[in-house]
A and B are shown apart, each in its own frame.
Chain A
Amino acid sequence: MSDLLKLGLDDLHVALGGRMVPFAGYAMPVQYPVGVMKEHLQTRQAAGLFDVSHMGQVILQPSGSMEALVAGFAALMPVDVAGVKEGRQRYGLFTNDAGGIMDDLMFANRGDHLFVVVNAACKAADIAHMTAHLGAQVRPVTDRALLALQGPQAEAAFARIVPQVAAMRFMDVAVLDSAFGELWVSRSGYTGEDGFEISVPDAGARGLADALLAMPEVAPIGLGARDSLRLEAGLCLYGHDIDTETSPVEAGLGWAIQKTRRKGGAQEGGFPGAARILAEFDNGPARLRVGLRPDGRAPMREGTVLFHDGVAVGHVTSGGFGPSLDAPVAMGYVPANLSAPGTALTGEVRGKHMPVTVTDLPFRPSNFKR
């Protein structure tokens, strides 16, 4: 793994017994000694600390007016950027001219600038894409770690360090002073639980991580449980459930496209792929991302072909075992006419057709503090 980038907290992960694997060019902890199952349940029941410093943190600093920057950023996404008030964050998607998804992201209005967090594997391409349209306003942040503290006891733990976080609501952002430097905090995450994502200066990252891990509610969580947590929460993993071939409407992400960007809205269209995406709102997409519950205990992994009446109709894009459901769960794409919850399909696993049922997403209700 010598050619892999190391996280700033690499020493900590190794000291905690993390099993390091390559992910998006980084050596990342996939699990700690207690294993994926216990890490997953720890996050659902108490709190888990994730190092997601591999993700891209980018500041968009206006060279002219904030309005001009907001308009420029909104030209890259089918999302209402202007409607995000100061101190708030929103989910966004870069689309391409064919209406496919180039990446999904979070962006925040921090008053005099925007702050964006993008996927690790897409980071270089996203920065190039934004820079091509927004020029020198795009400023990658390279001196900060990103930690996620997730779970029902995340607030109690984090508030011991920064009491103000208790007042934050889901998708609020704040810049808060701490003993570990200036923290850029959002009340959000990727687990379906309440929690925070915390950008911390590199110099303070180890201190903050140590302080959180010293608390009885908090344990370190690797990428394995991050994946099972987000899968149970019905959240997309870029490059798997969504990619340049899938449109936001097919992916069931129409909720991320506010009315103002749709037909008849004040900011109608004006984003890459608008023709396809707006037409899919009118006519319905040909296929849809759905939740899938296999019968029995055998997981249906990514790539499993789905059949209806013996005809191949789609495939699984994410699949595994959901520890909180104590059952296998998956997501995949099926034709729109087979997307209703309760539809019976089969998935081909090791040459056998195994029953699987289309299900609503998420698999379990989320626990956000709204």
Chain B
Amino acid sequence: MKYTKEHEWLRVEGDLIVVGITEHAATALGDVVFVELPEVETMVAEGDEICVIESVKAASDILAPLDGEIVAVNDKLVDNPSLVNTDPTGAAWFFKMRVEDTSVIDDFMDEDEYAELIG
């Protein structure tokens, strides 16, 4: 698993990249009550705000970590947003995207580097 500075995790699944938010981010957000996901088959650019997460405390965005196409979203989060708190790195994946070359994820932080970031 790889990590972004925006506290997303990325993992390769076949020719796709699966994206979610880290446990650290989920804890900091608090109880998640609403998730808005991007539409499938949309093209996104790195840094685009493509998901909204509302917790009991505040709203925040998930940014597209890479250029690519959204090919699947996790509708379970819409019905059960609390999955983000209970299983952030498993059941609570947000979207899967197709990118030109999945090896780009090697440029992101590994677990040790991320652990250092969040101190």
Binding site for B on A (CB under 8 A): 30-31, 35-38, 224, 228, 296-299, 301, 320-321, 323, 328, 350
23 interchain pairs, CB-CB under 8 A:
A30-B57, A35-B30, A35-B31, A36-B30, A36-B57, A37-B82, A224-B30, A224-B56, A224-B57, A228-B56, A297-B33, A297-B54, A298-B36, A299-B54, A301-B59, A320-B56, A321-B33, A321-B34, A321-B56, A323-B31, A323-B56, A328-B33, A328-B34
Contacts A321-B54, A350-B52; A297 near B34 (Cβ below 8 A): yes
Is B20 on the interface with A (CB-CB < 8 A)?
no
- Chain B residue total in the interface (Cβ 8 A): 14
B20-44 interface code vs A (CB 8 A; 1 in, 0 out): 0000000000110110100000000
Instruction: Flag whether B88 is at the interface (Cβ < 8 A).
Output: no
The answer to whether B31 touches A37 (Cβ under 8 A) is: yes
Please, which residue of chain A has its CB at the minimum distance from the CB of B33? A321
Contact B54 A298 (CB under 8 A): yes
Chain B residues, CB < 8 A from A31? 30
Q: Which residues of the other chain, B, contact A323 by a CB distance below 8 angstroms?
A: 31, 56
Q: Does B65 contact A (CB under 8 A)?
A: no
Nearest CB in chain A to that of B78: its residue: A297
Task: Please give the distance in Å from B58's CB to the nearest CB on chain A.
Answer: 8
Known: A35-B31, A328-B34; 17 extra A-B contacts, CB below 8 A, are A30-B57, A35-B56, A36-B30, A36-B31, A37-B33, A37-B82, A38-B31, A224-B30, A297-B33, A297-B34, A297-B54, A298-B52, A299-B33, A301-B59, A320-B56, A321-B34, A328-B33
Min CB distance, A351 to chain B, in Å?
11
In the A-B complex, list the 8 residue pairs whose CB atoms are closest, starting with the nearest: A37-B31, A36-B56, A321-B33, A297-B34, A298-B34, A35-B31, A321-B56, A299-B54
- Roughly how many angstroms separate A295 CA and B115 CA in the complex, as a whole number? 39
Interface residue? B81 (CB, 8 A): yes
Complex CA–CA separation, A321 to B58 (angstroms): 10
